[in-house]
Amino acid sequence: MHEKQLHLIAVRRDLTGFQHVHPTLGERGTWRTELDLTPGTWRVFADFSAHGAPLTLGADLQVAGDYEPTEAAAESRTAEVDGYEVRLTGDLTPGSDTELSLAITKDGRPVTDLQPYLGAYGHLVALRAGDLAYLHVHPEEGDAGPEVVFHTNVPSTGRYHLYLDFRHEGVVRTAAFTLSTSGAAPAAQDEEQEDHSDSHTH
């Protein structure tokens, strides 16, 4: 799925840490990877596809050490990482397909030569604040920047933390955003509407 058999996402429960790695399968069916975790409580998600169905499993991970609780990030539609600035436009409206557009600039100039990462020009993970419900979002086919567009369908009202991985000049970087939903809670949905083949929540 997205060029990898297994995606492992590690997020610090106060949402101040995020890692997206790809374990390798070793003997006796054990997957292994390196993670660089700071002390505190982390949530890890194994994201994969089995028998053609996307699946995400989660588990908590306690990391020993001097732990300083940190306030979760405030609402933010812009992120800066290593001289890059990423601006998010679009809203999250529960129960309906919405479009998010992320525009990437470096030193103030639009980045138009993004490199593919996991088969796309960006990879977005959305986590619902509180229970860290996991939403995997797939980008729309598009150019190598400066904008990467995603379609998403968040299940409920609330605050979501979004993590965009993008590759440029051979380096994968992560930009983090915090966004609250707009609009009212979705009306009770019938079975039919639930089937969104390109996004899934767990």
Beta strands per DSSP E along 64-97: 78-81, 84-89
- Judged by CB under 5 A, the stretch of 6-14, 62-70, 166-174, 183-191 that binds Cu ion is 6-14
Site membership for Cu ion, residue 136 (CB under 5 A): no
Least Å distance, CB 70 to Cu ion, is: 25
Q: Which is nearer to Cu ion, 22 or 77 (CB)?
A: 22
- For residue 154, give Cα distances in angstroms to 76, 84, 103, 157: 18, 27, 21, 8
The residues that bridge with 65 in the sheet, in sequence order, are none
Single out the residue of 7, 12, 159, 168 in contact with Cu ion (rule: CB under 5 A). 7
- The footprint of Cu ion on residues 93-132 (CB under 5 A) is none
Residue closer to Cu ion, measured from CB, 7 or 159: 7
Supply the minimum distance, in Å, between the C-beta of residue 28 and Cu ion.
23
Question: CA–CA separation, 104 vs 39, rounded Å?
Answer: 31
Q: 109-110 and 123-128: which strand pairing?
A: unpaired
Residues that bind Cu ion (CB under 5 A): 7
